[in-house]
Amino acid sequence: MVKYIKILADLFKKDIKIAGGKGASLGEMIQNKIPVPQGFIILASAFDRFMEKTDLNVEIEALLHKVNFKKVNSADRISNKIRDLISDVEFPKDIAKEIKKSFEKLGAKYVAVRSSATAEDSKNAAWAGQLESYLNTTEKKLLENVKKCWASIYTPRAIFYRFDKKLNGAKISVAVVVQKMIQSEISGICFTVHPVTKDYNQMIIEAGYGFGEAIVGGKITPDAYIVNKNSKIEILDKNISEQTMMIVGDRHGIKEISVLKSNQNKQKLSDKQILELSKICVNIEKHYKKPQDIEWVFEKGKFYIVQSRPITTL
């Protein structure tokens, strides 16, 4: 019997407690015919069982109480200790067996492995950006990267966040999303409300060559397209940026390469593609009934949505 895994298509937004914010949101989008890469989720119960079986929960709780929040390096030191503890203990065999079986069923050479905190995007706490993702993961690296995702709820940032939001002592667990890796030719972000002017009639799409990590990590300036999303979807403005490097996948994970000279100053998405993506993003916003921060990728003529969460800054 499968205890620790669910396929994404079987999840809904109400499943935050077992699948985390990211996992529940992806499942919800699949239910609503939004194009999302196939995958499965290692439920939060797997992390809880891992912590109990290894007795790490007691040890980690004691270490968290030692953090001196007036000293930055105190959180760093404790975080390293906790992450070493998690890295050193053996992966529970029953959970490992289920994960490997699900990976085989997915039939993908590479997967994206992403943390999904069970407190993510709740009304008072947004873990967005606190937790880690591992792209282009092979079967050989899968269990190691799952462990790293579990450990990422103890990064220094996540420890400070926990303290700042008064979540110390609260039960925080983490699920892990494993999805077929899309080798994105172009990727980016869409804010369904203009984040600067806060105009609810406009949205912004940012686009760059290669994997979205180049945009998220601030390594490139993406193209920015402003789109009117009321009655008629139309492009209002385009800001094309030069892009000389991009991030792509390789068998060790990801690497940086140069963009072909002939493409460096080109518009990344055609007008037709901008309008196609805009429609998908408007549908996601309509479904969730609130402004969304959406991550998208494009491969072989098709758009995929890899994340959607509420915009928390409006």
Measured between alpha carbons, how far is 77 from 241 in angstroms, rounded to an integer? Answer: 40
Torsion of CA 165, 166, 170, 175, to 10 degrees: 20
Residues 15 and 98 placed together within one structural domain of the fold: yes
What CATH number does residue 194 fall under?
3.30.470.20
Residue 58, token pair as written in the block: 């007691």
Nearest to 59 by CA among 44, 75, 76, 81: 81
**The 3-state secondary structure of 163-221, one letter per residue:** HHCCCCCCCCCEEEEEEECCCCCEEEEEECCCCCCCCCCEEEEEEEECCCHHHHCCCCC
Residue 129 is predicted with a pLDDT of 57
Residues 64 and 137 placed together within one structural domain of the fold: yes
- SS3 (DSSP) at 7: strand
Supply the angle between the helices 72-88 and 139-151 in degrees, to the nearest 10.
Answer: 140
The residue out of 156, 180, 204 marking a domain boundary is 180
Residues 95 and 147 placed together within one structural domain of the fold: yes
The residue out of 180, 203, 222 marking a domain boundary is 180
Q: For residues 264 and 219, is the Cβ–Cβ distance under 8 A?
A: no
287 Cα distance to chain centroid: 20
Residues 168 and 198 placed together within one structural domain of the fold: no
The amino acid at 109: K
Residues 120 and 217 placed together within one structural domain of the fold: no
Q: For residues 181 and 157, is the Cβ–Cβ distance under 8 A?
A: no
pLDDT digits 0-9 by tens, 25-43: 999 999 999 999 999 999 9
Residues 139 and 81 placed together within one structural domain of the fold: yes
Confidence class for position 121, pLDDT limits 50, 70, 90: very low
Residues 227 and 286 placed together within one structural domain of the fold: yes
Residue 230 is predicted with a pLDDT of 84
- SS3 (DSSP) at 47: helix
Q: What is the average per-residue pLDDT within 169-175? A: 81
The residue out of 180, 197, 218 marking a domain boundary is 180
What CATH number does residue 35 fall under?
3.30.1490.20
Residues 173 and 249 placed together within one structural domain of the fold: no
Residues 206 and 277 placed together within one structural domain of the fold: yes
Per 3-state DSSP, the chain is made up of helix, strand and coil in percentages (nearest 5) of: 40, 25, 35
Residues 141 and 256 placed together within one structural domain of the fold: no
Q: For residues 252 and 271, is the Cβ–Cβ distance under 8 A?
A: no
Residues 165 and 190 placed together within one structural domain of the fold: no
Residues 40 and 171 placed together within one structural domain of the fold: yes
pLDDT digits 0-9 by tens, 177-236: 999 999 999 999 999 999 999 999 999 999 999 999 999 889 999 999 999 998 889 999
Confidence class for position 118, pLDDT limits 50, 70, 90: confident
Domain ranges, residue 33: 5-180
The reported pTM is: 0.90
Which string of b and e fits 274-286 if b means at least 16 CB within 10 Å? beebbebbbebbe
Count of structural domains within the chain: 2
Supply the angle between the helices 139-151 and 93-106 in degrees, to the nearest 10.
Answer: 120
